[in-house]
């Protein structure tokens, strides 16, 4: 009888150990997602061809704890109009820089940008329907300090700062690091 009780006690301890390890793994995973890195799925073609619809990527959250985003970074951020939505775009200008659009070309501080990632797609003004912009975006537009001008790489299919204006640096949630799925798209961004 003692042997049967010992077996039950051992099974109970094994089950308790599995439950504890599972709980610890869950807590670690949640902490990593909250403070270190988070996976994202690209839902639209606004960043094509850099990122394709359905690409899964990792956004890391450590860099922007000590540094602000710089021009060229691809960042995730909270949608200015819907706090429950995360967007992903490329930083085109930072606070203090002036953005202008002429004949489909983006100018920052009077210099035309070399943007091979747009595949030659033009960058025209967009009608601003954002509730955040009473007068819309007026060009040339000087990005306020503490804000970023972001645009999708697929300029003909992206609602970005041309639509909703500059975004606060504080709304940035991560820096896009690499695509991990599908296999044919795996690589750093």
CATH of the domain at 74: 2.10.109.10
Task: Let me know if 46 is a catalytic residue.
Answer: yes
Which member of 48, 61, 89, 174 is catalytic? Answer: 89
Same domain, 50 and 14: no
User: What are 41's two structure tokens?
Assistant: 């799925």
> With the CA atoms of 188, 88, 69 and 50 taken in that order, what torsion angle do they form, in degrees rounded to the nearest 10?
40
For the question of whether the overall pTM of this predicted structure is more than 0.85, the answer is no
Contacts of 100 (CB under 8 A, 6+ apart): 106, 107, 108, 110, 139, 140, 141
Count CB atoms within 10 A of the CB of residue 183: 7
Shared domain check, 42 and 30: no
Are residues 72 and 90 both part of a single domain? yes
Residue 2 confidence (pLDDT) above 60: no
Sign of CA dihedral 25, 30, 32, 37: positive
Answer yes or no: do 99 and 152 share one domain. Answer: yes
Q: Structure tokens of 67?
A: 């540094």
42 and 104 housed in the same domain:
yes
Q: Please indicate, yes or no, whether residues 30 and 60 belong to a single structural domain of this protein.
A: no
* Whether 19 and 75 share a structural domain: no
Domain co-membership, 120 together with 46: yes
pLDDT tens for 52-97 read: 999 999 999 999 999 999 999 999 999 998 999 999 999 999 999 9
46, 48, 161, 174: which one is catalytic? 46
What H or E segment, with its residue span, contains residue 109? none
Range of the domain at 8: 1-35
Q: Known catalytic residue: 188? A: no
Report the DSSP beta bridge partners of residue 76. 88, 174
Same domain assignment for residues 93 and 121: yes
Q: Are 158 and 105 in a shared domain?
A: yes
Nearest-angstrom CA–CA distance, 186 and 103: 35
- The model's pLDDT over 114-154, given as tens digits with 9 standing for 90+, comes to 999 999 999 998 876 655 565 678 899 999 999 999 999 99
Query: How many structural domains does the chain have?
Result: 2
169 shares its domain with 99? yes
Same domain assignment for residues 8 and 62: no
- Mode of pairing for the β-strands spanning 37-41 and 167-168: unpaired
């Amino acid at each position: 009888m003692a042997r049967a009780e010992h077996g039950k006690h051992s099974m109970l301890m094994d089950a308790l150990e599995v439950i504890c390890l599972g709980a610890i793994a869950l807590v670690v995973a949640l902490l990593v997602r909250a403070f270190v890195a988070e996976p994202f799925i690209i839902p639209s073609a606004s960043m094509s061809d850099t990122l394709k619809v359905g690409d899964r990527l990792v956004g890391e959250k450590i860099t922007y704890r000590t540094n602000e985003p710089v021009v060229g970074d691809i960042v995730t951020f909270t949608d200015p109009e819907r706090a429950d939505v995360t967007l992903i775009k490329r930083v085109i200008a930072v606070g203090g820089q002036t953005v202008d659009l002429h004949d489909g070309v983006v100018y920052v501080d009077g210099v035309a940008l070399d943007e091979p990632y747009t595949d030659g797609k033009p960058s025209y003004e967009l009608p601003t329907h954002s509730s955040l912009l009473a007068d819309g975006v007026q060009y040339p537009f000087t990005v306020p300090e503490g804000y970023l001008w972001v645009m999708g790489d697929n300029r003909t299919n992206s609602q970005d700062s041309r639509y909703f204006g500059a975004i606060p640096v504080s709304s940035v949630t991560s820096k896009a690091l690499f695509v991990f799925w599908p296999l044919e798209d795996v690589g750093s961004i």
